Homo-oligomer: A and B are copies of this chain.
Amino acid sequence: MKRVRGSRSGRPIMALLDLLGRRWALRLVWELREEPRRFRDLQAAIGASPTIVNTRLAELREAGLVRLDEAAGYRLTELGEELLRLFLPLHVWAGKWAKSI
């Protein structure tokens, strides 16, 4: 098992929070929720530098959440889709949250 920055405890939840708590990481997973997307497409969609997009994608690939399908582009793995399913309710909740502040 690969060690992730900040996960000195070795507790999986901490490693996960650390991984997803890096800039653009959550957003990248979100952008892949519907269909595979190309590198440049992803980069344009989130508006980050190619350097950091590549770095995050590499981390997410190493974590087994994302993979590169040469024919179609970057896509979530089975594991990545499981994670996404946990996050989907966020979409609805975000609307409610926005109204209340």
A1 within 8 A of B: yes
Q: Are A64 and B25 touching (Cβ within 8 A)?
A: no
Chain A, interface residues (CB within 8 Å), range: 35 or more
Interface flag for A50 (CB, 8 Å):
no
Q: How many monomers of this protein are in the complex?
A: 2
Contacts of A94 in B (CB 8 A): 12-13, 15-16
Q: Is A101 an interface residue (CB 8 A)?
A: yes
Query: B16 contacts A101, CB within 8 Å?
Result: no
Complex contact B22–A97 (CB within 8 A)? no
A100 at the B interface (CB under 8 A): yes
**Which 4 pairs from chain A and chain B are nearest by CB?**
A12-B98, A12-B94, A13-B94, A16-B94
